[in-house]
Copies of this chain bind each other. A is one copy, B any other.
Amino acid sequence: MKEVVLGIDIGGTFTKYGLVDKNGFIFNEGSLPTDRHAKVIDFITELKTSVHQSLGDNYNIKGVGIGAPNGNYYTGKIESAPNLRWKGVIDLTDLFEEKFGLPVKVTNDANAAALGEMLYGDAVNMKNFIMITLGTGLGSGIVVNGEIVYGHDGFAGEIGHTIVDPEGRNCACGKRGCLETYVSAPGIKRTVFELLATETKESVLRKYSFDALDSKTISEAANNGDEIALKAFEYTGKILGLKLADAVAHTSPEAIFLFGGLSNAGDLIFVPTKKYLDQYLLCIYSGKIKLLPSKLQDKNIAVIGAAALMWKELA
Contact = CB atoms under 8 A, between A and B. Distances in A.
B280 A175 contact: yes
Contacts of A245: 162-163
A283 B163 contact: no
B250 A251 contact: yes
Interface stretch (A43-51, A90-98, A153-161): A153-161
B153 A252 contact: yes
Interface string A147-172: 10111111111110111001000000
Contacts of A156: 128, 144, 250-252
A152 B251 CA distance: 8
A79 interface: yes
B79 A252 contact: no
Nearest to A246: B162
A70 interface: yes
Contacts of A163: 242, 245-246, 280
Report the interface size class on chain A: 35 or more
A79 to B, nearest CB: 7
Interface in A245-272: 245-247, 249-254
Most buried by B among A156, A157, A174: A156
A145 interface: yes
Contacts of A183: none
A203 interface: no
A208 to B, nearest CB: 30
Nearest to A286: B174
A127 B161 CA distance: 23
A152 B253 contact: yes
A288 interface: yes
Nearest to A253: B152
A197 interface: no
Interface of A: 70, 79-80, 126-128, 142, 144-145, 147, 149-159, 161-163, 166, 173-175, 242, 245-247, 249-254, 280, 282-285, 288
Given A155-B285, A246-B246, 9 more contacts: A128-B151, A142-B250, A144-B144, A150-B252, A157-B249, A157-B250, A158-B249, A161-B282, A173-B282
26 contacts: A70-B284, A79-B284, A128-B152, A142-B250, A144-B144, A149-B250, A149-B252, A150-B252, A153-B252, A153-B284, A153-B288, A154-B252, A155-B285, A156-B250, A156-B252, A158-B252, A158-B282, A159-B250, A161-B249, A162-B249, A163-B242, A163-B280, A173-B283, A175-B280, A246-B246, A250-B250
